[in-house]
A and B are shown apart, each in its own frame.
Chain A
Amino acid sequence: MSTTEKALEGTGRFLDDRLHGASGLNRFLRKIFPDHWSFLLGEIALYTFIILLLTGTFLTLFFQPSMTEVTYHGVYTPLDGVRMSEAYSSTLNISFDVRGGLLMRQIHHWAALLFIGAIMVHMLRVFFTGAYRKPREFNWLIGIIIFSIAIFEGLFGYSLPDDLLSGTGLKITQGVLESFPIVGTYLSFFLFGGQFPGHDIIPRLYVIHVLIIPAVLLALIAAHVFLTFHLKHTQFPGKGRTNANVVGAPMYPYFMAKTGAFFFFIFAVLALLSTFAQINPIWLFGPYNPSAITAGSQPDFYMGALEGALRMMPNWVWNVAGHTFAFNEFIPALLPLGIIFGGGAMWPFIEQWVTGDRGEHHILDRPRNAPTRTGIGVAAVVFYGVIWLEGANDVIANHLDISLFLTTWIARITVIVGPIIAYWVTKRVCLGLQRKDAHLLEHGIETGIIRQLPNGAYVEATRPVSENDEAVLISRTGLPPLPAPAADEEVPAKSMRGGMGRMRLALNRVVTEGIAAPTGNGHGEEHANGHGEPAAISGQGDQGRDGQDSGSSS
């Protein structure tokens, strides 16, 4: 023991003499991380990114980003003698001639899918728990940028092998790009070095895919992780957890062991998938040929929403003064994801404006405690989900044996109606859950034990919820009131005047809709919402009273 300690001490002194690391590193090692499974979602994204860098680097050692035509003579005999681009032929070589090449390629592809999937789920977690609130708005914005460029990174990487499937994807990309008003044709010619397909696009996508976007992603991810660290992690409500502390286990050794294990676990899962689950078998698709295509072909899942939007859009075009507005192309390319990304980016600030809540939040919201936000989130998920499913409408039509055109019409209607219904239902469910929570706090947990009182009446015995559950249940805090008129005046506060002020007030009524927090003993007044406004859910509040389990109400 003493020798080990001595060696450590010596090394430590050597380093600290030169780097002055001890005090900073000490804080680092003692850093507290709260524990919850959903906090690992972002880590999945982080670790798949590292795996992408490792496997991607391996692939660059063998891949030839060139569209020069060659004749294939390799291990994969079905394509022997076929003329193809060097990009495609070198991808075949990676798959069949380079030992471990197929494994690396498949890990790379699976990791890419997991990377974007993990980002999506992580963002949903952050949204629904309100983790993006002050002071974490920057990190939310960084996350949205990471998400959007990760989609391009995936698309470009997927296009590099120059197989039939990815070549078709590139043609679609080019067709959409060409449709953009005024600049589209020029953008397309400059990106492709002339007309599609030309000979420049693969080398250009290659440098974007292996250098430019990874560098940007690396910088953004570093900033993202640093900010998470610097601002300290949020935590779910619980016993002893306040807005002014963070409760959990220290970085060293707990978080290090956990997160290290998690990295290895993710790598193992990806290796296992890549061993047994074939992905992107480009040798089956054949080299790209602009006059050929396969039916039922699907892009990677994260492109599904763009694909679905293209399929769903009616064929609207305007011809004005010799120019064409191809709404049928650039609207689906820009609008749906524009709503998701743009709306997501603006949401924290919209919410602050509507609620007037500009305080710091380190305790996460339970989704039910922010019914409007949760409703909007679920509406966005439904909106995205419908478009995404429409991206596979031919497969759906085929499996469900319904008309292809019908699937598109269903999607066109559902994409508008679905989110509205989803919002309404989600909000009602949230309010019902709030009512259930209030009931639990007021009356305790039903024990199933019936007691007879001396006067002959029967009552059910309840026991109070545990301290930790109580801390969770009382975590719902009311929102601060909007600037109110001065006590003796009718005139609204300055920020509440005019059209914007009225809109703000109306939206505020929507977001503050909720069940009044119970007082903890006796029956709370259920109609107040902290603003003196009658609760918009009047009538339903009654259902939450007295013994009704209102978890399923309305």
Chain B
Amino acid sequence: MSDMTEGPRDLPQGSDGEQDEGSRAPHRVIGTPPPAEARTLLASEQEPPQRPRIIVPTGPAAKRGERLVATFFLLSGLASIGFVASYVTLRPGSLVDTLRSNLTLGIAMSVAFGAIAIGAVLWLHLLMPKVEIPEDRHSIASSPAERAEFADTFAEGAERSGFVKRPLVRRSLLGASVLLGVAPLVVLRDLGPLPETKLRHTAWARGRRLLVLGPNTPIRPADFSSPGQMITVAPEGFEDNQDAMAKAATIIIKFRPGQLKPPTVMNWAVDNIVAYSKICTHVGCPVALYEQTTHRILCPCHQSTFDAARGAKVVFGPAPRALPQLPLGVDSEGFLISTNDYHVPVGPSFWELGGSGFSGGNEQS
């Protein structure tokens, strides 16, 4: 910065504020190439150009600008010190402490960065002379001579190596390279097991109790105080198993007598309680919203809507098939159990699903 102000000391003082330095460039007509003098400023190969006369703003306004710029830089410095001070003095230990620490650190950091930014912009606008310099572009393409030379070099190398003339060497190398490129891909095989039929089965099986998720207690049909609720259940023994629950999460809804309609499989309902997979058949979000009055189950992700009273068939949205229905029964102690696994795969479609996945008793009508 000292260079900036000391440089032009012996120059005649200009008026305050910004100077148009472009005045040294002669006036030109639009479309004509810039004068040769301007070019010599930039081409370093030619004889060292005359250093252009730099007129830096001086006078009281510039002095004020200088102080203003420095003030902002100092402010940034103070903010940095404040940042360290906040870091040292405010220790986390509770939510309030954390938020207070975040607030002070954040403000100090914002000021530390922002003040330098403002200072630099002010420096640019108040203390540096304005310039507008044209620079020539050069053709992007190389000259024909350069291209020819390159082609020669390339051909020469190809000839020396015999790459063209010795097809045996060339082809065996290419073949080996391809194999070398492909062979390591096999090590990716152990990234995961093969799908096999894993997507067709869940943790539900004959005689598995339904645990109400949360309290993790089994439930009797009589425990439903009133129809209409939707409850999420897990197969007993898998309530904490995320991998199992990602497919086995199930919802049960109790209806009033006569409300359940085909294609609901009535044999799989107990006391008007019906169980459906909670995994949306679109992309697998949990279908967590239930509207009692319309019996509609809604997936909050992409709004696939299913009619719970009619075998959870699709009413609207991007899901292509009904939520699979879980066959329910009651065990000797009166608790709800599954009498089998889901008859069709739960969750989103996959390549191997096939048409049978769309007709699992409660088919989409």
The chain A residues found within 8 Å of chain B, CB to CB, are 1, 4, 23, 26-27, 30-32, 75-77, 83, 95-100, 102-103, 135, 168, 171-172, 174-176, 178-186, 188-198, 200, 231-232, 239-250, 253-254, 257-258, 260-265, 267-269, 271-272, 274-276, 288-297, 307, 310-317, 319, 322-324, 326, 328-329, 332, 360, 362, 393-394, 404-405, 408, 467, 470-471
Supply 6 further A-B pairs (C-beta < 8 A) apart from A171-B283, A191-B192, A405-B303: A171-B285, A195-B199, A248-B135, A258-B120, A288-B242, A289-B242
Given A75-B92, A96-B98, A168-B301, answer yes or no on A271-B348 (Cβ-Cβ < 8 Å).
no
A99 touching B117 in the complex, CB below 8 Å, given contacts A197-B243, A296-B300: no
B106–A276 touching, CB < 8 Å: yes
Contact (Cβ within 8 A) A322 B131: no
- Kindly provide the distance from the CB of B246 to the nearest chain A CB, expressed in whole angstroms: 4
Q: Tell me if B357 is interfacial: C-beta within 8 Å of chain A.
A: yes
Least Cβ–Cβ distance between A21 and chain B, in angstroms: 13
* B2–A4 touching, CB < 8 Å: yes
Quick check: B110 and A268 within 8 Å, CB to CB?
yes
Residues of B within 8 A of A258 (CB): 120-121, 124
Contacts of B6 in A (CB 8 A): 1
Q: Is the CB of A404 within 8 A of B137?
A: no
Q: Are A404 and B303 in contact (CB under 8 A)?
A: yes
B356 contacts which chain A residues (CB < 8 A)?
Answer: 322
Q: Which of B10-18, B27-35, B166-174, B266-274 contacts A (4 or more CB under 8 A)?
A: B27-35
Q: Is the CB of B199 within 8 A of A264?
A: no
Q: Does B124 lie within 8 Å of A265, measured CB to CB?
A: no
B347 CB–A CB distance under 8 Å: yes
B51 to chain A, nearest CB (A): 13
Query: For the complex, what is the distance from the CA of A74 to the CA of B356, rounded to whole Å?
Result: 49
B44 in complex: contacting residue of A27, A193, A240, A261, CB < 8 Å = A27
B: residues with CB less than 8 A from A are 2-3, 6, 28, 30-31, 33-34, 41-42, 44, 87, 90-95, 97-98, 101-103, 105-107, 109-114, 116-121, 123-124, 128, 131-137, 139-140, 188, 191-195, 198-199, 213, 232, 234, 240, 242-243, 245-247, 249, 278, 282-286, 288-289, 300-305, 314, 316-321, 347-358
- The contact of A244 among B111, B121, B137, by CB within 8 Å, is B137
How far, in angstroms, from A250 to B134 measured CA to CA in the complex? 10
Q: Give the residues in chain A near B123, CB-CB below 8 Å.
A: 257
Nearest to B124 among chain A residues (CB) is A257
> Which chain A residue has the least Cβ–Cβ distance from B33?
A244
Q: Which of B3, B42, B234, B316 contacts A291 (CB 8 A)?
A: B234
Known: A272-B114, A275-B106. A310 touches B318 (CB 8 A): yes
Contact B245 A30 (CB under 8 A): no
A172 CA to B31 CA in the complex, in Å?
57
Q: How far is the CA of A387 from the CA of B138 in the complex (A)?
A: 44
Contacts A175-B284, A189-B193, A290-B286 given; does A254 touch B124 at CB 8 Å: yes
Q: What CA separation (Å) do A239 and B133 show in the bound complex?
A: 12
Q: Which residues of B contact A312 (CB under 8 A)?
A: 318
Cβ-defined contact, A265 with B358, below 8 A: no
Could you say which of B101, B113, B114, B305 has the most chain A C-beta atoms within 10 Å of its C-beta? B113
Min distance, Cβ A3 to any Cβ of chain B, angstroms: 11
Q: A residues within 8 A CB of B243?
A: 194-198
Whether B283 pairs with A103 at a CB distance below 8 angstroms is no
Check if B109 sits within 8 Å of A103, measured CB to CB. yes
Find chain B residues with CB under 8 A from A257 CB: 120-121, 123-124, 128
- What are 24 of the A-B contact pairs (CB < 8 Å)? A100-B102, A103-B105, A171-B283, A179-B283, A183-B351, A190-B191, A191-B192, A198-B243, A249-B133, A257-B121, A263-B117, A265-B118, A272-B106, A275-B106, A292-B288, A297-B300, A311-B317, A312-B318, A315-B314, A319-B354, A324-B357, A326-B350, A329-B348, A332-B318
Would A291 and B283 count as touching, CB distance under 8 A? no
Do residues A95 and B98 form an inter-chain contact, with CB atoms below 8 A?
A: yes
A197 touches B135 (CB 8 A): no
Flag if A324 contacts B353 (CB, 8 Å): yes
Chain B, Cβ-Cβ closest to A241: B134
If the complex has contacts A171-B284, A240-B30, A328-B282, are A323 and B192 also in contact, measured as CB distance less than 8 A?
no
Alpha-carbon distance A189/B241, docked complex (angstroms): 18
- Given the known interface contacts A194-B193, A253-B128, A276-B106, the answer about A293 and B285 at a Cβ–Cβ threshold of 8 Å is yes
A23-B44, A30-B42 as given contacts; A317 in contact with B113, CB under 8 Å: no
CA distance A189 to B124 in the complex (A): 57
Decide: A265 and B114 in contact? CB cutoff 8 A. yes
Shortest Cβ distance from residue B11 to the other chain A in the assembled complex, whole angstroms:
15
